[in-house]
Structure 1
Amino acid sequence: MILGEAGAMQKRFLALIWVAMAGLMAVACSPDLPRAVVEARYTSPTSQFINISDGVRLHVRDEGKRDAPVLILAHGSNASLHTWEPWVSQLKDNWRVISFDFPAHGLTGPSKSGVYSGTTYVQVVDDLAQHFKVDRFVLGGNSMGGGVAWRYALVHPEKVAGLILVDAAGYPRDTGKPPLIFRLARAPIVGDVFSRVTTKGMIEANLKQVMVDDTLVTPEMVQRYHDLLMREGNRQATLTRMRAGPDAPTAYQQIPTITAPTLVIWGEADPWIPFADAKRFTQEIKGSKLVSYPNIGHLPQEEVALATAKEVEAFLQQVYPKPAP
């Protein structure tokens, strides 16, 4: 009898939890932001939208000297082309810099197929290059974008004049857990709640985890990340992408075959991708150079923007030396 009562109490307790969660969702759940609203807030005078494969309307900024060598920059997971603004401001006087929002991110939004794999993103980069008729360029990427960059170098080595890997994804994790945001998204039921309940507090906490200097996480930055995630279709696309996992889990084994000149930039205090991966990239890519920063996290292009931009400037000058007079 006692066991029966305990079981009934447990069921009532679980029911109360579900009621509480439903109430929380009713309060915290907010609708997507219409595309037009988000575009009005975050397009710039250099923004343009190009149509590429899979029905994607790609948000792009093409800045700098039109006749200069090209640098294409690929952002990380749940970020946008805005992460490269500090570099663009430093590099555009001498170089042509093209940044963009991947599908399921920023102002680009979801694709027609709903497939957001590494292979798909490699194709996005190639579509972008073909659209602008750029046959050869330096390709840089941070985090997820870094993983796309080195995979692109494997598939299209003839097009990659140089490679810049900034706290790049790529190697499998032998120990440790994925970041909390990925664990939440992949969890049954919780992931669905996560895709509907999106608070600025969650985003702020996530940014403060990846950036050592909390003062860099401004209200404006949190608002932008929040708004771009809330752009209609992006939250569900993010959930789909995170749950899919890697589509080529053994691709990293080909990294030693990369021949492009490579600059590896890393924050030694990165809580998401360990500094050991930076050393491994440098060991496996012949002739590559490693530049690292103590007490810097996952986004050195923002945390130490001037210092990293100077390294990129020097690297570009090596890749594209000026002809002798």
Structure 2
Amino acid sequence: MKWMTLLRWLALILLATLTAGLALSWAPDRSVDSLKERWAPAPSQFIDLQGMQVHLRDEGPRDDPEPIVLIHGTSASLHTWDGWAKALQGQRRVIRMDLPGFGLTGPAPDGDYRMTRYADFIAALLDQLGVRRAVLAGNSLGGGVAWRTAVQHPERVSRLVLVDASGYPLQSTSVPLGFRLAQIEWLKPVMGKLLPRRMIESSVRNVYANPDKVTPELVDRYYELTLRAGNRESLTQRMKLRETDAQAAGLIPTIGQPTLILWGTEDRLIPEPSGQRFHKEIAGSQYVVLDGLGHVPQEEDPQRSVAEVLKFLVTQR
């Protein structure tokens, strides 16, 4: 009898623990309007493009003949470039946006997240802003979008800056938990309503060489923008296309624009051999290794990483 009573108590404790865990992880979609106050203050703006309200920041002198366009990576947003934008906008026009499927821009109406589609999106954005040619800089997925745009629309791209860019088949030594879960089809109904903040924190810390640099506000940003209505479904759709993207690696040797390649030595998601391969296959490219930095050097150490960009822009102008 005592054993039965003990088992009932254990069952109740387990049920209470599971209920509390679900309650803490419960995270339904949030509307873009509920997120704007914190994540889209001035100079943020929203422009109508391809059926979306694209979240954009356009700063610096308007007479710059070749603005710098900064393109973020998977599950990131234009905020990842805050440090670079601050360093560049005194002398250069700096344009950055939330890509379709991410940030406050949210899902593409047609659900198309192929790289060819992203390249066309960048060209359309340049048209909308009246920019004939630009320097494209991208991190991770954004790096893949940048070089694909240079191949697809070469007349629009004067130079490239690839920061731990995607392009080759992944040989990751560690993948953020959030990315791994997004690839599990049967988890979609669950992940659409549950999102433990600790999982986002773990994922962000995973791409930093020094996890101590991951602040609560940084985790808040990734967490809250992931909750933007439609973004979780978009991430699932985007992750399905990664292997297809890698099949386009044969286009990389056709890149003709002057290119700077930056790579963190501690990148475990896209390890440094990919950077070396970009350097080998893009004729005349410059290759700079950033010791002690991970997959997002522009966030982890914006001053050190943008210093290389400033030198590249001066020498190439």
- Cα shift at 1:209: 0.8
Structure 1 stretch displaced more, 189-198 or 267-276: 189-198
Give 1:189's match in structure 2, choosing from 186, 190, 199.
Answer: 186
**Gapped runs of 5+ residues in structure 1?**
1-16, 321-325
Name the counterpart of 1:64: 60
Structure 1 stretch displaced more, 145-154 or 22-31: 22-31
Amino acid in structure 2 at the alignment position of 1:85: D
Amino acid in structure 2 at the alignment position of 1:210: V
Cα distance change, pair 283–244 in 1 and its aligned pair in 2 (3 A): closer
Amino acid in structure 2 at the alignment position of 1:110: P
Name the counterpart of 1:222: 219
Amino acid in structure 1 at the alignment position of 2:87: Q
Is the contact between residue 71 and residue 78 of structure 2 (CA under 8 Å) also seen in structure 1?
yes
Cα RMSD of the aligned pairs, angstroms, is 2.1
Is the contact between residue 185 and residue 195 of structure 1 (CA under 8 Å) also seen in structure 2?
no
> What SS is found at the alignment partner of 2:240?
helix
- Cα shift at 1:107: 0.9
Give the Cα separation in 2 of the matches to 1:248 and 1:18. Answer: 44
Q: Deviations over 1:159-178 (max 9, x none)?
A: 11100000000101367675
Is the contact between residue 50 and residue 57 of structure 1 (CA under 8 Å) also seen in structure 2?
yes
Is the contact between residue 67 and residue 135 of structure 2 (CA under 8 Å) also seen in structure 1?
yes
> What SS is found at the alignment partner of 2:37?
helix
Whether 1:30 aligns to 2:14 is: no
Q: Deviations over 1:190-232 (max 9, x none)?
A: 2432332112101111111111122221011111111111111
Cα distance change, pair 101–18 in 1 and its aligned pair in 2 (3 A): farther
Name the counterpart of 1:96: 93
Q: Deviations over 1:44-66 (max 9, x none)?
A: 2111111112x121111001111
* TM-score (norm. length: structure 1): 0.87
> What SS is found at the alignment partner of 1:313?
helix
- Cα shift at 1:248: 4.2
Amino acid in structure 2 at the alignment position of 1:40: E
* TM-score (norm. length: structure 2): 0.89
Give the Cα separation in 2 of the matches to 1:18 and 1:290. Answer: 55
- Cα shift at 1:26: 5.7
Give the Cα separation in 2 of the matches to 1:113 and 1:312. Answer: 35
Give the Cα separation in 2 of the matches to 1:35 and 1:206. Answer: 23
Is the contact between residue 174 and residue 268 of structure 2 (CA under 8 Å) also seen in structure 1?
no
Cα distance change, pair 19–170 in 1 and its aligned pair in 2 (3 A): farther
Q: Deviations over 1:280-299 (max 9, x none)?
A: 10111011001111221001
Is the contact between residue 161 and residue 261 of structure 2 (CA under 8 Å) also seen in structure 1?
yes
Q: When the two structures are aligned, how many residues end up with a matched partner?
A: 303
- Cα shift at 1:119: 1.6
Whether 1:282 aligns to 2:279 is: yes
Name the counterpart of 2:232: 235
Query: Counterparts of 1:7-86 in structure 2 under 5 Å?
Result: 25=22, 28-53=25-50, 55-68=51-64, 69-86=66-83
**Gapped runs of 5+ residues in structure 2?**
1-13
- Cα shift at 1:189: 1.6
